């Protein structure tokens, strides 16, 4: 699961996290029944407080996107609501790609460097935790 938080936005971290997990579920990147990282582990990875991650998880559970199973952890719901249509997902993905290109240009990176960075992150996501 890849989560990118933007510290320059006014959107609170818990909402960025909630929205990104919901989008990944809607897009099929997180599948029904898939176990999510523990609150503590995800908070550590993202350098957030446990409470921030817990709030995002609570809101996802309230929306029916994930299920908390006590000490067993949190899992993607078996039938999560679809949050975006295919056109909306395409539009959001196009926007994310444009943003990645803009940021890489600001950093002075070449298109090859950007593609290599994306490929590296995708490969990391494929590896089991």
Distance CA 83, CA 19 (A): 10
Q: How far is CA 120 from CA 4, 12, 126, in A?
A: 15, 28, 10
**What is the per-residue pLDDT for 85?**
65
56: nearest Cα among 69, 72, 37: 37
Q: How many CB atoms lie within 10 A of CB 104?
A: 17
Q: Rounded to two decimals, what is the model's pTM?
A: 0.66
Pick 13-76's CATH classification: 1.20.140.10, 3.30.365.10, 1.10.10.10, 1.10.1740.10.
1.10.10.10
User: pLDDT at residue 28 above 70?
Assistant: yes
> 111 CB contacts (<8 Å, ≥6 apart)?
104
What is the reported pLDDT for 84?
A: 64
Q: Mind listing the pLDDT tens digit for each residue in 84-121?
A: 666 777 888 888 899 999 999 999 999 999 999 988 88
Domain boundaries, the chain: 13-76, 86-126
């Amino acid at each position: 699961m890849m989560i990118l938080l933007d510290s320059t936005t006014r959107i609170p971290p818990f909402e960025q996290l909630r929205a990104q997990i919901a989008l990944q579920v809607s897009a099929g990147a997180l599948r029904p029944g898939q176990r999510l990282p523990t609150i503590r582990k995800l908070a550590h990875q993202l350098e957030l407080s446990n409470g921030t991650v817990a709030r995002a998880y609570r809101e996802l559970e309230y929306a029916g996107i994930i299920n908390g199973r006590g000490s067993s952890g949190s899992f993607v719901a078996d039938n999560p609501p679809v949050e975006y249509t295919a056109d909306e997902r395409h539009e959001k993905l196009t926007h994310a790609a444009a943003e990645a290109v803009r940021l890489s240009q600001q950093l002075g990176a070449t298109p090859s460097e950007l593609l290599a960075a994306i490929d590296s992150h995708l490969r990391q996501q494929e590896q089991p935790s």
